[in-house]
Amino acid sequence: MREVSLKDDIFWVGAIDWELRDFHGYVTQRGSTYNAYLILDEKKVLVDTVKDYLFDQMLSRIENIIDPADIDYIVSNHVEMDHSGSIPAILKYCPNARIITSKMGEKGLRKHYGEDLDLVQVDSEETLDIGKRTLTFVHTPMVHWPDNMVTYLNEDKILMSNDAFGQHIASPERFDDQLEWGILREEAAKYYANIVLPYSPQVQKALEALSGLDIDIIAPSHGIIWRKNVERIIGEYRKWAGSETPADSVLIVYDTMWGSTEKIAYTLLEAIEEEGKSVTIRNLNESHISDIMTDLLESRFVLIGSPTLNNGMLPMVGKFLTYLKGLRPAGRIGMAFGSYGWGGQAPGEVEDIMKDLGWEIPVDKVRINYIPGEQDLKKVREEGRKLVNSIEEE
Ligand code: FEO
């Protein structure tokens, strides 16, 4: 397996997971990578590892460069097993290596791999001299777990950012100047929407903490390494972590039983498009919830429709809303809709979840009995227009 050089004596030695299609519920159409990095100085340092079943890939890349027995330190920026999973295996090759981690990292690593680990706990902004280079560790709690930290190589201006700035992409390319920005941005947005979104306040703090660093390269723990678009991806993170979302993007998400709720959904789309807004529509049976979250990341208006089944919403809508509640997107303007035969509780249930998320609900939920007729659709159009004009009317 081939290693890749980032700068003199700094190498990517990670693993490519070509076949990965499901990352605990997140559809990873392009697979992923787990990025480990090797720094050669007076001390030899391995930063993060890979999933346990891909250990041989990492080992083979390291062995191309040095004898693994020469590794002095393993930096564990994050306990989650996609990055720590090969620590026990690599320690068999370098039993004297010491593991550097945060306080929460120490707790997590001991729980995962036993009390005997030789760990060095570092505070935020603590430095380690490894010869010609100095490493600075900056704690970034909750980006993505409480233990997270990043490692900054002062002389080389490389930020090893772990989960932050990652994307799930398996590819022969390692750097962002080798792939289309559009693909990179879409996968980085999907990653943010499905992994990082609940921790946006902590991302803002982390961006603040990192703002004083001079960064040439961001080397995340998943996907492609940023060396061309460093400022650009930081700018996207600032936007995604903020509460402001683009004013004119609208997302309609629905499931349908006999086509009536779908008819309402497409009527809303037409009416809102006539108001000059950009609208995306997703049927929950055709689009995966993790892809819908990517749409939602940059949508200010979110309309969710469900017919009523057994006095409640359809199961696919329930699945989506359970996922949505966990990811906690803030600052949206919501509207619920759906057709019903009797009861008609589903739109109310959807609206309650929107309220729990703190979303604004400027117009009433739309409930249409059985098949929407001409008058019903006229009302649907009016409510859709009212919704997207509610900001100007405030
Ligand atoms: Fe890529 Fe939170 O692990």
Q: What is the pLDDT of residues 26-57, one digit of tens each?
A: 999 999 999 999 999 999 999 999 999 999 99
Beta-bridge partners for 251? 280, 302
- 210 pLDDT higher than 80: yes
Tell how far the Cα of 313 is from the centroid of ligand 1, in angstroms: 33
Ligand 1 pocket check for 80: Cβ under 6 Å: yes
- Catalytic residue list contains 78: yes
CA neighbours closer than 13 Å in the CB half-sphere of residue 21: 2
Regarding the beta carbon of 78 and ligand 1, being less than 6 Å apart is answered: yes
Is residue 82 within 6 Å of ligand 1 at its C-beta? yes
Find the range with the poorest average confidence among 15-29, 101-115, 229-243, 296-310: 229-243
Interatomic CA distance for residues 86 and 92, integer angstroms:
10
Task: Give, in order, the Cα–Cα distances in Å from 22 to each of 25, 31, 32, 349, 359.
Answer: 6, 8, 10, 29, 30
Q: What is the mean pLDDT of residues 343-355?
A: 98
How far, in Å, from the CA of 394 to the mean position of ligand 1? 41
Amino acid at 32: S
Q: How many CA atoms are closer than 13 Å to the CA of 36, on its beta-carbon side?
A: 34
* Res 187 pLDDT > 60: yes
Mutual angle of helices 200-210 and 230-241, in 10-degree steps: 140
Average pLDDT over residues 11-37: 97
Give the pLDDT mean for 179-185.
97
* Mean pLDDT to the nearest integer, 352-378: 97
d(CA 357, CA 332): 9
Residue 246 has pLDDT above 70, yes or no: no
Ligand 1 pocket check for 102: Cβ under 6 Å: no
Q: Which two tokens stand for residue 129?
A: 């001299």
> Mean pLDDT in the chain?
96
For residues 284 and 338, the answer to whether their CB atoms sit within 8 Å is: no
CB 163 within 8 A of CB 143: yes
As given in the structure block, the two tokens for residue 318 are 């329930």
Query: Which residue's alpha carbon is at the smallest distance from atom 3 of ligand 1?
Result: 80
* CA 24–ligand 1 middle distance (angstroms): 11
Q: Is the pLDDT of residue 146 over 50?
A: yes
Which is the closest atom of ligand 1 to the Cα of 163?
A: 1
Predicted TM-score of the model (pTM)? 0.95
Q: Tokens standing for 347? A: 């739109």
Banded pLDDT at 242 (limits 50, 70, 90): confident
Q: Return the pLDDT at 394.
A: 46
- Residue 110 pLDDT > 50: yes
Q: Pick the catalytic residue: 37, 191, 192, 237?
A: 191
pLDDT band at 391 (very low <50, low <70, confident <90, very high): confident
Buried-exposed string 309-322: b where 16+ CB fall within 10 A, e elsewhere: beeebbebbbebbe
Edge-first strand order for the sheet with 98-101 is 4-7, 10-12, 37-40, 44-47, 73-75, 98-101, 119-121
Tokens coding 336: 């619920």
Tell whether ligand 1 has an atom less than 6 A from the beta carbon of residue 48: no
CB atoms within 10 A of CB 209: 15
**Does ligand 1 come within 6 angstroms of the Cβ of 163?**
yes
Res. 243 pLDDT band, cuts 50 70 90: low
Mean pLDDT on 257-285: 97
